């Protein structure tokens, strides 16, 4: 039964990453925004209750607590929160915070808390976590708040969706089966259901109770929250900090082949439009894979936000702009591809130089389609880095003023400035996608993003091969050390290390290969790199055959040449220390034989009593592994504790003997 529940939980957990990524959710910025409900959830009113919510935390290890749901008045309360200075959900009852489950940052997760008169049960994604105690609640004068503590503030930063309050105990099975589907409004025990499917921001938003209790619990107060669509983010697009995403086959509105607007699908609503009376860029099919692209003629067409926007957003000091573009013909003058109100040096701009060089902040762009990324840190003197097709080409380039204030207008295809919007400032080229994050991206995120573009649009660049320059191996004790080097790598996810399982020496016999480990690659780099991998010896004196399966970030793979190694015969008897030690449930001991020998293996307890005995006749020369599975001579599991193993060796050709005794520890 437990196994069935576990499998069910795993299935539900996989579904949970899809659920709550459609419709809308409330975003709470972590300093002043929250939702106040009229719900009286104190123990006197609800001795038994169940609270449920989908949460998307964007901050952990914070200096103060972050309340998800709370009715605290400073004395007694019932609160579900992220404990200060930790990455853990907790339940607070007026006396202390009872740590419950780990928080997963920047990912939707379902939490449910069951309050009983003498106990509290906590569930994350349907899996129960023990609080280690049976705390109870007290009496409070406050009603339930979403996203803050009414007594102390303690604001939550992130998204909350689909809050449900029940005046009954929900079982684990009910939580599991109900968290990914909408219940009936008449479901017994459900007194409040706040879907939070509203859109927009400000006091004009109305949040309703969708439970059958109707308007009884509809006295909602909304303080500074934002409600916005939650867009599905595909693999390869870093979701954390995504502030704007213009995608060529989504949200483009055109009339007679000209683009009138381009919808932002990031969920933040920063869409671009063409101004009345201005020229509009053309909508064409790009030559890579015939998906739409927006073409700017370099004369007078552009797109821009209808009003000022804040790209940095909350608690951010950096911006990364990524564009999939085709530079087109030579620019007549400094031409602005993307401009964040750079006039009077109050914003930033991404420009292309005039003339035949196509100089782009110190780097000459190739003609044709390419992915270009720019990193800016607010307050710096310029871009902190420029990346072309995932490879850094300029570090700390001049220009690209990055000391900017917000909010500002964003323009695509021209300088956003009335004083300087001349034909020479407009850009000539094509754009297929634009992404803006309010943070810098890690190397792995840039490579994943590059892989997204390559898989979606086909081959954009001529990739560098993963060029291996060597692949060697050596024996050392009970391990084989594999080493290899590369001169260059492109979108290299890494290597699976494989060993041949039988004497069949055919690269095509895939069933004879076993994966024994994985080594992470460096992505895309022109720098030489060295790698190594340690593999335990499985058959000490048999030839070992290895190969490397190099895997790209897009899933393509190639195999290395075969590496075959044969260990040398031992020169003398030797008995090694068992490993692992301590162990549970089994341990191994290496024995070296210079010629054919008999092996006697014995295990004793601390009282000197024989626990296990085994004789191995006529073992060939070489290294062998003896295994003890922790069971005695009768097949019963031995107790935890210290044991001694004695191994006696006798050469069957010379009669030479060798005996050694060592200690080992079994733990459970």
pLDDT at 384 over 50: yes
Residue 330: its pLDDT value, please? Answer: 57
Give the range among 51-60, 455-464, 578-587, 625-634 with minimum mean pLDDT: 455-464
644 or 446: which leads in pLDDT: 644
* 21: region left, alpha or beta (phi > 0 left; psi from -120 to 50 alpha): alpha
Q: Is residue 236 part of a domain?
A: no
pLDDT at 329 over 60: no
- Percentage of residues of the chain with pLDDT beyond 70: 78
Residue 644: its pLDDT value, please? Answer: 94
Distance of alpha carbon 661 from its chain centroid, rounded? 49
pLDDT tens-digit series, residues 251-263: 777 777 888 888 8
Mean pLDDT along residues 538-548: 74
**529/570 Cα distance (integer angstroms):** 34
Looking at the structure, tell me whether residues 515 and 631 fall in a common domain: no
Q: Is residue 47 part of a domain?
A: yes
Q: Is residue 462 part of a domain?
A: no
636 or 316: which leads in pLDDT: 636
pLDDT at 204 over 90: no
Select the highest-mean-pLDDT range: 98-107, 169-178, 399-408, 598-607.
598-607
User: What Å distances lie between residue 486 and 492, 564, 565, CA to CA?
Assistant: 11, 20, 21
pLDDT at 73 over 80: no
- Angle (CA) 133-136-137 rounded to 5° is 145
Is residue 84 exposed (0-12), middle (13-18) or buried (19+ Cβ within 10 Å)? middle
CATH of the domain at 353: 2.60.120.200
User: What Å distances lie between residue 225 and 34, 55, 207, CA to CA?
Assistant: 6, 15, 11
CATH of the domain at 471: 2.60.40.10
pLDDT at 297 over 70: yes
**100/110 Cα distance (integer angstroms):** 13
CATH of the domain at 593: 2.60.40.4070
Looking at the structure, tell me whether residues 554 and 578 fall in a common domain: no
Average pLDDT of the chain? Answer: 79
pLDDT at 643 over 90: yes
Looking at the structure, tell me whether residues 14 and 61 fall in a common domain: yes
pLDDT at 358 over 50: no
**454/466 Cα distance (integer angstroms):** 16
399 or 99: which leads in pLDDT: 99
pLDDT at 342 over 90: no
Residue 541: its pLDDT value, please? Answer: 57
Name the DSSP class of 24. E
Q: Is residue 216 part of a domain?
A: yes
Give the range among 334-343, 555-564, 586-595 with minimum mean pLDDT: 334-343
Looking at the structure, tell me whether residues 481 and 536 fall in a common domain: yes
Looking at the structure, tell me whether residues 141 and 287 fall in a common domain: no
Residue 28: its pLDDT value, please? Answer: 87
pLDDT at 540 over 60: no
Q: How confident is the model at residue 379 (pLDDT cuts 50, 70, 90)?
A: low
pLDDT at 494 over 80: yes
**483/471 Cα distance (integer angstroms):** 6
Tokens coding 333: 């003058």
Select the highest-mean-pLDDT range: 147-151, 216-220, 311-315, 563-567.
147-151
pLDDT at 50 over 90: yes
Q: How confident is the model at residue 461 (pLDDT cuts 50, 70, 90)?
A: very low
Residue 602: its pLDDT value, please? Answer: 95
Q: Is residue 235 part of a domain?
A: no
Looking at the structure, tell me whether residues 212 and 87 fall in a common domain: yes
Beta-strand relationship, 157-166 and 190-194: antiparallel
Residue 394 pairs in a beta bridge with 386
Looking at the structure, tell me whether residues 147 and 213 fall in a common domain: yes
Total domains, the chain:
4
Select the highest-mean-pLDDT range: 33-47, 48-62, 236-250.
48-62
Mean pLDDT along residues 319-325: 89
pLDDT at 190 over 80: yes
pLDDT at 241 over 70: yes
Give the range among 37-46, 172-181, 340-349, 466-475 with minimum mean pLDDT: 340-349
Q: Which residue has the tokens 């310029």?
A: 382
**419/342 Cα distance (integer angstroms):** 11
404 or 152: which leads in pLDDT: 152
Looking at the structure, tell me whether residues 336 and 261 fall in a common domain: yes
Q: Is residue 615 part of a domain?
A: yes
510 or 117: which leads in pLDDT: 117
**249/619 Cα distance (integer angstroms):** 69
Q: Is residue 391 part of a domain?
A: yes
* Domain final position from 508, 532, 565: 565
Select the highest-mean-pLDDT range: 138-142, 425-429, 433-437.
433-437
Mean pLDDT along residues 343-357: 63
Mean pLDDT along residues 452-478: 71
Residue 485: its pLDDT value, please? Answer: 92
Mean pLDDT along residues 480-501: 86
For residue 612, give every residue at least 6 positions away whose Cβ sits within 8 Å of its Cβ, in sequence order, or none: 601, 602, 603, 628, 631, 632, 633
pLDDT tens-digit series, residues 411-433: 898 876 544 445 447 888 899 99
Contacts 24+ apart (CB under 8 A), 182-188: 185/210, 185/211, 185/212, 186/212, 187/211, 187/212
**546/535 Cα distance (integer angstroms):** 10
* Domain final position from 565, 598, 619: 565
pLDDT at 446 over 90: no
Q: Which residues form the domain of 482?
A: 467-565
Find out whether 430 and 319 touch, Cβ atoms under 8 Å. no
pLDDT at 525 over 60: yes
Residue 232: its pLDDT value, please? Answer: 55
Tokens coding 319: 């911006």
Looking at the structure, tell me whether residues 444 and 501 fall in a common domain: no
Q: How confident is the model at residue 82 (pLDDT cuts 50, 70, 90)?
A: very high
Residue 215: its pLDDT value, please? Answer: 61
Looking at the structure, tell me whether residues 72 and 204 fall in a common domain: yes
* Domain final position from 431, 457, 483: 457
3-class DSSP state for residue 60?
coil
Residue 108: its pLDDT value, please? Answer: 80
Looking at the structure, tell me whether residues 448 and 504 fall in a common domain: no
Q: Is residue 633 part of a domain?
A: yes
Q: How confident is the model at residue 464 (pLDDT cuts 50, 70, 90)?
A: low
143 or 4: which leads in pLDDT: 143
3-class DSSP state for residue 266?
coil
Looking at the structure, tell me whether residues 655 and 547 fall in a common domain: no
pLDDT at 278 over 80: no
Select the highest-mean-pLDDT range: 126-135, 366-375, 598-607, 616-625.
598-607
pLDDT at 604 over 80: yes
């Amino acid at each position: 039964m437990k196994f069935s529940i576990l499998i069910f939980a795993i299935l539900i957990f996989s579904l949970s990453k899809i659920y709550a990524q459609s419709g809308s959710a409330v975003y709470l910025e972590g300093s002043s925004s929250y939702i106040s409900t009229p719900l009286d959830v104190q123990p006197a009113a609800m001795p038994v209750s169940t609270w449920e919510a989908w949460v998307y935390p964007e901050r952990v290890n914070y200096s103060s607590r972050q309340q998800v749901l709370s009715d605290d008045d400073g004395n007694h309360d019932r609160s579900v929160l992220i404990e200060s200075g930790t990455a853990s959900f907790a339940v607070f009852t007026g006396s202390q915070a009872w740590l419950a489950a780990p928080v997963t940052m920047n990912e939707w997760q379902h939490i449910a808390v069951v309050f009983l008169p003498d106990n509290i049960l906590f569930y994350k994604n349907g899996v129960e976590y023990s609080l280690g105690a049976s705390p109870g609640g007290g009496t409070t004068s406050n009603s339930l708040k979403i996203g803050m503590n009414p007594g102390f503030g303690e604001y939550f930063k992130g998204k909350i969706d689909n809050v449900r309050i029940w005046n009954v105990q929900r079982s684990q099975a009910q939580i599991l089966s109900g968290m990914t589907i909408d219940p009936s409004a008449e479901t017994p025990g459900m007194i409040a259901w706040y879907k939070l499917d509203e859109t927009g921001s400000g006091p004009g938003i109305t949040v309703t109770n969708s439970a059958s209790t109707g308007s009884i619990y509809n006295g909602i107060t909304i303080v500074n929250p934002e409600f916005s669509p939650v867009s599905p983010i595909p693999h390869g697009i870093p979701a954390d900090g995504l502030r704007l995403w213009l995608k060529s086959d989504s949200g483009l509105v055109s009339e007679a082949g000209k683009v009138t607007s381009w919808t932002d699908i990031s969920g933040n609503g920063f869409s671009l439009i063409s101004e009345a009376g201005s020229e509009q860029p053309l909508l064409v099919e790009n030559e890579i894979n015939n998906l739409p692209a927006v073409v700017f003629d370099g004369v007078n067409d552009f797109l821009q936000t209808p009003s000022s926007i804040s790209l940095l957003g909350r608690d951010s000091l950096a911006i990364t702009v990524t564009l999939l573009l085709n530079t087109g013909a030579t620019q007549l003058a400094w031409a602005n591809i993307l401009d964040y109100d750079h006039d009077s040096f109050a914003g930033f701009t991404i420009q292309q130089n005039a003339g035949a060089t196509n100089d782009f902040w110190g780097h000459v762009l190739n003609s044709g389609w390419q992915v270009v990324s720019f990193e800016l840190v607010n307050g710096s003197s310029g871009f902190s880095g420029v990346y072309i097709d995932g490879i850094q080409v300029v570090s700390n380039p001049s220009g690209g003023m990055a000391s900017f204030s917000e909010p500002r207008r964003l323009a695509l295809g021209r300088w956003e400035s009335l004083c300087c919007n001349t034909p020479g400032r407009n850009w000539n080229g094509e754009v297929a996608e634009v992404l803006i994050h309010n943070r810098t991206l890690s190397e792995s995120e840039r490579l994943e993003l590059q892989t997204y573009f390559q898989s979606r649009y086909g081959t954009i660049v001529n990739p560098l091969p993963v060029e291996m320059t060597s692949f060697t191996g050596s024996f050392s004790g009970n391990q084989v050390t594999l080493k290899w080097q590369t001169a260059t790598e492109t979108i290299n996810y890494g290597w699976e290390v494989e060993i041949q399982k039988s004497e069949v020496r055919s690269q095509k016999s895939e069933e004879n290969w076993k994966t024994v480990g994985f080594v992470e690659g460096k992505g895309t780099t022109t720098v030489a790199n060295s790698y190594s991998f340690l593999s335990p010896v499985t058959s000490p004196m048999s030839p070992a055959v290895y190969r490397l399966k190099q895997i790209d970030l897009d899933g393509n793979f190639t195999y290395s040449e075969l590496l075959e190694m044969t260990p040398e015969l031992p020169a003398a008897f030797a008995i090694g220390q068992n490993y692992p030690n301590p162990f549970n449930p089994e341990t191994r001991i290496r024995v070296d034989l210079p010629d054919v020998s008999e092996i006697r293996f014995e295990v004793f307890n601390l009282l000197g009593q024989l626990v296990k005995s085994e004789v191995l006749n006529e073992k060939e020369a070489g290294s062998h592994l003896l295994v003890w599975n922790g069971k005695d001579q009768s097949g019963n599991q031995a107790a935890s504790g210290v044991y001694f193993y004695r191994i006696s060796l006798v050469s069957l050709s010379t009669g030479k003997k060798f005996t050694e005794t060592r200690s080992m520890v079994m733990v459970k």
